[in-house]
C-alpha cells in the first residue's frame, strides 16, 4: 500500500488534474446550455477551471517527484556506505596481515636479539602490547594484562 509512494502521488496529481479539467468543462457547458446570458461565464469557467486544475497539480506532482528522488538518494547513500565499510574492513584486514608478516619477519631474523620488544595488538581490547621476542617464541599463548584475553602466538611463527 505504501510502497513506491512517490509514483502514487504523481499518479494522483494526474488524476486530479483530469478530473478538475473535465469537471470545469462540464460545468461550463451546462452554464452555456442553461442560459444564453451565461455563455461568456461558461466559457470562462471551462477555460480558467481547466487551466487552474492543471496548474494546481504541479505542487502535488512535484511533491511526488521529490519523494521519488529522496528514495533514490537514500538507496544510493546506503550502497555507498556499504561500499565504504567494506573497503575499510578490507583495509583493516590488509593492515593486520602486514603487521603479522612484520612480526614473523622480526621473529625469524636471527640477527635480531631475543631481548627485542615486539608490539602486538590485543584482538579483544585493541591495546598495543609489547612482548619480548623470546616470550613470543617460547609461549603458545600470551595473556593481555589489560583485558586478560588469550593471544595466540602461533600465527607469528612461520
Grid coordinates standing for 102?
612484520
The model's pLDDT over 31-59, given as tens digits with 9 standing for 90+, comes to 999 988 999 999 999 999 999 999 999 99
The pLDDT of 101-106, averaged and rounded, is 90
Domain boundaries, the chain: 1-96, 109-158
pTM of this prediction? 0.54
Contact assessment for residue 57 and residue 74, using Cβ atoms and an 8 Å cutoff: no
Using CB atoms within 10 A of its CB, is residue 156 exposed (0-12), middle (13-18) or buried (19+)?
buried
Contact assessment for residue 20 and residue 55, using Cβ atoms and an 8 Å cutoff: no
Given a cut of 70, whether residue 158 has pLDDT beyond it is: no
Coil, strand, or helix at residue 69? helix
The model's pLDDT over 110-152, given as tens digits with 9 standing for 90+, comes to 898 899 999 998 988 989 999 999 999 899 999 999 999 999 9
d(C-alpha 74, C-alpha 154), whole Å: 45
Amino acid at each position: 500500500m505504501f510502497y513506491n509512494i512517490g509514483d502514487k502521488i504523481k499518479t494522483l496529481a494526474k488524476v486530479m488534474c483530469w478530473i478538475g479539467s473535465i469537471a470545469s468543462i462540464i460545468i461550463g457547458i451546462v452554464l452555456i446550455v442553461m442560459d444564453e446570458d451565461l455563455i461568456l461565464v461558461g466559457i470562462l469557467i471551462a477555460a480558467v477551471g481547466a487551466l487552474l486544475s492543471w496548474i494546481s497539480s504541479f505542487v502535488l506532482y512535484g511533491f511526488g517527484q521529490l519523494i521519488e528522488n529522496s528514495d533514490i538518494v537514500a538507496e544510493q547513500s546506503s550502497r555507498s556506505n556499504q561500499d565504504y565499510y567494506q573497503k575499510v574492513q578490507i583495509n583493516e584486514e590488509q593492515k593486520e596481515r602486514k603487521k603479522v608478516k612484520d612480526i614473523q619477519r622480526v621473529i625469524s631474523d636471527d640477527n635480531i636479539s631475543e631481548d627485542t620488544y615486539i608490539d602486538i595488538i590485543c584482538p579483544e581490547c585493541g591495546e598495543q602490547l609489547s612482548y619480548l621476542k623470546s616470550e613470543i617464541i617460547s609461549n603458545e599463548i600470551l595473556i593481555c594484562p589489560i583485558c586478560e584475553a588469550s593471544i595466540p602466538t602461533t600465527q607469528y611463527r612461520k
